[in-house]
C-alpha cells in the first residue's frame, strides 16, 4: 500500500497514541514494564488507566530513557511495514484517560519525583519529542519529520503541527476555527488547522463546501471525522458540490509556493503564516476587534462565508491600500467595512496592493509531483505602481537547506519593471522556471514587462 501511495508522491500518516495496552503478550508493554518506564502511583506501582485498548499503562515521557525507547520504535527494522513515507499522528496525548478525573491523568501520579500536576501540560509535547527524534533516527538525521499532535506546550512548534481537536459539523464550529487558529498562530503554533466538516456529526453539502473553501486558506488542511459519522468523500455529495470542493482544493495547491515560503520565513523569525488583521495593520484600530477574517502572510485577506445561506460577507478592509479580488482580479480602492458578494462557488479573498505572490498552475495528483513545476508570479501594484514578494525553494524533504542548499529570492515591481535578487547566496540548481507574470489592475500587460536579475 505504501509503495502504491509513494508512486504518486503521496504520504501516509498513522496514529500512534501514548497509552499502552496491558497485555503480557505485547512486547512493548513488557519492555516498558521491565524497564520501569511507566508513570507510577504513589505506592510505586505502575499506574493503570482506561483508554481505547481497555486497561492501559502510560509511559513516563519526562524520563529521557522512555523517550529514547519510543524513538527507537520508529526504526524501519522495528516498525514493521513502515517506510520513510510513513509519518505519525500523536493523538490522545493530553493524556486521555477515560476513567480519570476530567478524562485525564490524576494529578498525584508520579513521574519519578515529579507529580503529574506539575508537568501535565508538558506531557503531550514530551511525547512528540520522542516521535520527532524517532523520525530523525530512522533516516539517519537526513529527512524532515512530520508529526501531528493534539496536545501542545510552549516549544511544541519545534516538533509538530497541531489541529483544534474534536469539533462538530456546525456553522458555529466553522466560525470558531478562525479565532482558534489565529490564537495558536500568534502563540507560536503556526502549523495549525481544524477538521474540515467537523469531527462529530454529518455536514450537509453547503457546510462542507464552505468549510473546504475556508480551510484552503489555513495552514493545516485536512478533512477528518469520527468513525460513526456518514462517509463524506467529496464524490458522495452532489456533482455540483463535488466540483466546488475540487475547486477549493485546487486553489489550495496552486498557492503551495506561497505557503512554503511563509513556513520558511516562520522558521527564520517566528512570524506565523496565518495572521490577524491587526498583525499586518497595527495602526488600524478598527481591525482590532474584527473576527471571521484573517491574513495569509502579508499578502492575502481571507473572509470566508461562516453562516448558512449567506451569499455575501461583510468584509473589513484594513489600512488605506488597494485590494484585488483574486478570482475576478477586480481592483478595489476601499477602506473599512463593505458587503461583498460571496456566491456558492467562492469566498472573498483579496490580494493586498504592493505584494507579489508565487503560484503553481499545473494540476497534479500530489504536491510532490508539483515540485519542479514552473512558477507564476501575481503582481498586485499599490497606488504608486510598486509591489514586492519573496519565493523560497529547496528539495522539499531534507535538512540540506540548513547548509545553504536553497534558493531564497525577492521580486520587486516598479511601474512595468520586474527585478529579482537573491536574499541569500544561491545554494542549489533547480529546473523550476518563471513561466508567467500576471499584473493585476492597470499595469502594462506581461508582454511589455522588462526583467532584471541580480545575484544579490
CA–CA dist 429, 425 (Å, integer): 12
**Is the Cβ–Cβ distance between 360 and 374 less than 8 Å?**
yes
* Strands 434-439 and 375-380, bridge-based pairing: parallel
Residue written as grid cell 540548513: 402
**Is the Cβ–Cβ distance between 187 and 158 less than 8 Å?**
no
**Is the Cβ–Cβ distance between 200 and 234 less than 8 Å?**
no
Instruction: Please pick, among 17, 46, 68, 166, the residue that the annotation labels catalytic.
Output: 166
The span from the first CA to the last CA of the chain, in angstroms, equals 46
SS3 443: coil
DSSP 352-376: ETTEEEEE-----SSSGGGTT--EE
Residues in the chain: 456
Residue written as grid cell 463524506: 232
CA–CA dist 326, 347 (Å, integer): 10
Instruction: Please pick, among 17, 60, 91, 284, the residue that the annotation labels catalytic.
Output: 91
Sorted by sequence, the CB contacts under 8 Å of residue 343 that are 6+ apart come out as 311
Residue written as grid cell 512554503: 260
Backbone dihedral region for residue 116 (phi beyond 0: left; psi -120 to 50: alpha; all else: beta): alpha
- Tell me, what DSSP letter sits at residue 339? E
Instruction: Identify whether 373 is a catalytic site residue.
Output: no
Instruction: Identify whether 166 is a catalytic site residue.
Output: yes
Where would I find the H helices in 35-188? 64-72, 123-138, 171-186
- Which residues are annotated as catalytic? 91, 166
Amino acid at each position: 500500500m505504501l509503495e502504491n501511495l509513494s508512486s504518486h508522491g503521496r504520504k501516509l500518516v498513522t496514529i500512534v497514541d501514548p497509552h499502552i495496552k496491558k497485555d503480557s503478550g505485547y512486547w512493548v508493554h513488557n519492555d516498558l514494564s521491565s524497564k520501569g518506564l511507566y508513570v507510577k502511583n504513589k505506592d510505586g506501582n505502575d499506574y493503570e488507566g482506561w483508554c481505547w485498548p481497555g486497561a492501559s499503562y502510560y509511559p513516563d515521557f519526562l524520563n529521557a530513557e522512555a523517550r529514547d525507547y519510543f524513538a527507537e520504535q520508529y526504526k524501519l527494522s522495528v516498525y514493521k511495514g513502515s517506510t520513510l513515507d510513513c509519518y505519525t499522528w500523536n493523538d490522545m496525548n493530553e493524556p486521555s484517560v477515560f476513567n480519570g478525573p476530567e478524562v485525564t491523568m490524576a494529578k498525584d501520579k508520579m513521574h519519578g519525583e515529579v507529580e503529574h500536576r506539575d508537568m501535565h501540560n508538558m506531557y503531550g509535547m514530551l511525547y512528540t519529542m520522542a516521535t520527532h527524534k524517532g523520525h530523525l533516527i530512522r533516516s539517519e538525521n537526513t529527512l524532515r519529520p512530520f508529526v501531528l499532535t493534539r496536545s501542545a506546550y510552549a516549544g511544541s512548534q519545534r516538533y509538530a503541527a497541531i489541529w483544534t481537536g474534536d469539533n462538530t459539523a456546525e456553522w458555529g464550529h466553522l466560525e470558531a476555527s478562525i479565532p482558534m487558529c489565529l490564537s495558536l498562530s500568534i502563540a507560536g503554533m503556526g502549523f495549525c488547522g481544524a477538521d474540515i466538516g467537523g469531527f462529530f456529526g454529518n455536514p450537509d453539502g453547503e457546510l462542507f463546501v464552505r468549510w473546504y473553501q475556508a480551510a484552503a486558506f489555513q495552514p493545516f488542511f485536512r478533512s477528518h471525522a469520527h468513525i460513526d459519522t456518514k462517509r463524506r468523500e467529496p464524490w458522495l455529495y452532489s456533482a455540483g458540490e463535488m466540483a466546488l470542493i475540487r475547486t477549493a482544493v485546487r486553489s489550495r495547491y496552486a498557492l503551495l509556493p506561497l505557503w512554503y515560503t511563509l513556513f520558511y520565513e516562520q522558521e527564520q523569525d517566528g512570524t506565523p503564516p496565518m495572521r490577524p488583521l491587526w498583525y499586518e495593520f497595527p495602526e488600524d484600530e478598527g481591525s482590532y476587534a474584527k473576527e471571521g477574517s484573517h491574513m495569509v502572510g502579508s499578502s492575502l485577506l481571507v473572509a470566508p462565508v461562516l453562516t448558512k445561506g449567506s451569499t455575501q460577507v461583510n468584509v473589513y478592509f484594513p489600512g488605506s491600500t488597494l485590494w484585488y479580488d483574486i478570482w475576478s482580479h477586480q481592483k478595489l480602492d476601499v477602506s473599512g467595512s463593505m458587503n461583498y458578494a460571496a456566491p456558492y462557488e467562492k469566498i472573498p479573498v483579496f490580494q493586498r496592493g504592493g505584494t507579489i505572490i508565487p503560484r503553481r498552475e499545473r494540476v497534479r495528483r500530489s504536491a510532490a509531483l508539483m515540485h519542479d513545476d514552473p512558477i507564476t508570479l501575481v503582481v498586485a501594484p499599490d497606488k504608486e505602481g510598486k509591489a514586492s514578494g519573496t519565493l523560497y525553494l529547496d528539495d522539499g524533504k531534507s535538512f540540506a537547506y540548513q547548509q545553504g542548499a536553497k534558493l531564497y529570492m525577492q521580486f520587486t515591481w516598479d511601474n512595468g519593471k520586474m527585478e529579482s535578487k537573491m536574499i541569500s547566496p544561491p545554494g542549489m540548481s533547480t529546473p523550476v522556471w518563471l513561466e508567467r507574470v500576471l499584473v493585476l489592475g492597470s499595469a502594462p500587460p506581461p508582454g511589455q514587462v522588462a526583467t532584471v536579475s541580480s545575484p544579490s
